[in-house]
Amino acid sequence: MTDSSIIVGFIPLLDCAPLVVAAEKGFAAEAAIDLTLVRETSWANIRDRIVVGHFDAAHMLGPMAVAATLGIGHLKVPMIAPYSLGLGGNAITVSTAVWEQMLSFGASVGAHPRQQGAALLQVVRARAQSNKSPLTFAMVYPFSCHNYELRYWLSAAGIHPDLDVRLIVLPPPLLVDALREGQIDGFCVGEPWNSMAVAVEVGCIVAPTTAIWRLSPEKVLGLRLAWAQRHPERLAALLRALYRASQWCEQAANHAELSRLLAQPQYVGAPASILLRGLSNQLSLTPGSEPVLIPNFYAAARQAATFPWTSHALWFYSQMVRWRQTDYSHEHLPAVRATYRPDLYRLALAPLAVDLPAKDSKVEGAPNGSPTIASPSGALEYGPDGFFDERIFDPDDVATYVASQEVVSA
């Protein structure tokens, strides 16, 4: 172990791309970092191995970092997220059988999540009336954007995620088989697993999660606060390498090469042609259909996608409260906010003289807000934003938002 080495754990998913590119395309070396990537099989392993120090940093679910800082669900270990590994990239997929039923209740390919949700509600009610077991949906981890996005969509449609359907955890690589075998009826996961389900003709994509929340956050680079405090320069160098890597991932001209890079078994280990769909925002939504452009499906760098907005951490917290993972406490808020570290992001990127947002937090989901945010050079484009049900989240008034989150049952 030298003073330039950084060991980073990751899960084989599309958005580990900036880490892979930093290691493989020379950005880490340029920043004088000896970057080692270690592929992991479960989020619990990512959590435990970063806690005991096997990993210096990890490809981490945003809510995981917040949960660790608060000590919800496991050890209380102050964790920080000084970098976002992108926006979006998830989707909700259902089995072809459920999709057929949804079509008969008014769903259609690529329709608004409200229309899809109304159709699913009819399916849920019809099953209840004929005494069939409730539908089972899978997600990848309780403290994940996938869990919260799926629950957000279901509950907005009038489907109670804990009473009207069953929600279970399954690891991403097992989802497609579970859907085929009928163990589950749908899932919410990151790419390439939605496109994989469509490609093998067992699933249909109901909604990309960017249709639910346009600028929805996703993975972050997570580290123990203690490690970051001990190695500030190494961390800054890593953030600079990642920034360049994310910019590289964003370029359409690099997508074919990137898809081949990620396809290798030591990284994601899925066909390059499937990975390319998510990278290029061209998803095939139902088996055999032509790919369609899903604008802003996955943003690696554009729209300030790499910026660790503290409002993201606060929204995750509001969902932890909503789904009873913790009780609301005003005292939690400073710790939640302090998990995301835009200050470290700014400090690290200062030498690059790139455009940065002027503020550390923003109102989430504001569709009529400015599509640009103030930055040193004038304006940095990041919009449009919006939750599909037109709610907005004001990070300066979490309590009111939390109190307004109703959950109704079908």
Partner 1 sequence: MPDEKSPAETLLRILIVDQNVLRASILEDGLREAGYRKVTVLRDMQNLMRRIVDNDPDVIFIDLENPNRDVLEQMFQVSRCVQRPIAMFVDRSDADMIAAAVDAGVGAYVVDGLRKERVKSVLDTAVSRFNAFNKLREELDRAKAALEERKVVERAKGILMKERGLTEDAAYTLLRKAAMNESRRISEVAQSVVTAARLLK
State the nearest-atom distance from the C-beta of 259 to partner 1, in Å: 24
CA distance 171 to 41: 8
Nearest alpha carbon to residue 387 among 194, 155, 228, 224: 155
CB 391 within 8 A of CB 376: no
CA distance 258 to 42: 24
Q: Which amino acid is at 79?
A: M
Cis peptide before 342 (omega within 30 of 0): no
State the nearest-atom distance from the C-beta of 53 to partner 1, in Å: 8
167 vs 241, beta carbon nearer partner 1: 167
DSSP state of 16: G
Residues engaged in binding partner 1 (CB under 8 A): 41-45, 48-49, 51-54, 71, 73-76, 140-142, 168-171, 173-174, 325
46 vs 313, beta carbon nearer partner 1: 46
71 vs 367, beta carbon nearer partner 1: 71
What angle (nearest 5°) sits at the alpha carbon of residue 213, between those of residues 208 and 214? Answer: 80
State the nearest-atom distance from the C-beta of 235 to partner 1, in Å: 22
Nearby residues of 16 by Cβ (< 8 Å), 6 or more positions away? 10, 59, 85, 219, 262, 267, 268
State the nearest-atom distance from the C-beta of 88 to partner 1, in Å: 22
184 vs 212, beta carbon nearer partner 1: 184
162 vs 389, beta carbon nearer partner 1: 162
**Placement of tokens 């409200």 in the chain:** 114
CA distance 147 to 128: 23
SS3 387: strand
State the nearest-atom distance from the C-beta of 51 to partner 1, in Å: 7
Long-range contacts of 285-290 (CB under 8 A, 24+ apart): 285/109, 285/110, 285/198, 285/204, 285/205, 286/99, 286/109, 286/198, 286/204, 286/205, 287/96, 287/198, 287/199, 287/201, 287/204, 288/201, 289/109
State the nearest-atom distance from the C-beta of 374 to partner 1, in Å: 40
* Sequence-ordered strand ranges (E) for 78-151: 79-84, 87-88, 90-95, 136-139
State the nearest-atom distance from the C-beta of 48 to partner 1, in Å: 5
36 vs 375, beta carbon nearer partner 1: 36
52 vs 408, beta carbon nearer partner 1: 52
State the nearest-atom distance from the C-beta of 174 to partner 1, in Å: 7
* Sequence-ordered strand ranges (E) for 243-296: 282-283, 292-293
State the nearest-atom distance from the C-beta of 89 to partner 1, in Å: 19
134 vs 173, beta carbon nearer partner 1: 173
75 vs 403, beta carbon nearer partner 1: 75
Sign of the dihedral through C-alpha 335, 337, 343, 346: positive
